[in-house]
Amino acid sequence: MERLNEESVKVINEIVAAHAGEPGPVIVMLHEVQNKMGYIPYEAMEAISKATGTSVADVFGVVNFYAQFTTAPKGKHVINVCLGTACYVKGASKLAEAAERVTGAKVNGTSADGLFSLDATRCLGACGLAPVVVIDGRVVGSCTPQKVENEIKAIIEAEKAGA
């Protein structure tokens, strides 16, 4: 492996020194807002910006960089279909299509009734279980279109029963 030149090392050291001792309040605040509200509205980004002395653009950049943050309200049940290479090769796009059919939500959208959000994600780190769907935080490995439909239908039935 090639070693960095002195100029590159200096830049890295300056960046590290500028942030030494900071606990990362922007990310902590964003997580708390999203945990309480289900998403991060623009007004929250403005408030975090003022509180931390960071520009709104920078806070917005953090929100958009990390896949776990969202600026739109999510449905009551969140379905993530992994479209990373291993999952995609094993038919994950068919899982997304099946989820769209049953929920009425488009990929990266929320159903009209607010019950489901369907998100396409990149590698979830479960390649050995490909294709993978995560439903309400629960990993469903070696998934098939029929399996994802059954999982979603079970949620719909539980919702109808008042669960």
pTM of the model: 0.70
User: Is 53 a domain residue?
Assistant: yes
Number of structural domains found in the chain: 2
Residue 95, H or E segment:
helix 92-103
Question: Which of these three, 65, 91, 108, is where a domain ends?
Answer: 65
Do 106 and 155 fall within a single domain?
yes
User: pLDDT value at position 50?
Assistant: 76
User: pLDDT value at position 22?
Assistant: 58
Residue in the block written with tokens 């029963």: 161
User: Is 120 a domain residue?
Assistant: yes
Residues 68 and 124: beta-carbon distance below 8 Å: no
User: pLDDT value at position 34?
Assistant: 81
Q: Which domain holds residue 104?
A: 77-160
Residues 100 and 118: beta-carbon distance below 8 Å: yes
Low-confidence spans in the chain with pLDDT less than 50: 1-2, 4, 9, 12-13, 15-17, 19-20
User: pLDDT value at position 3?
Assistant: 66
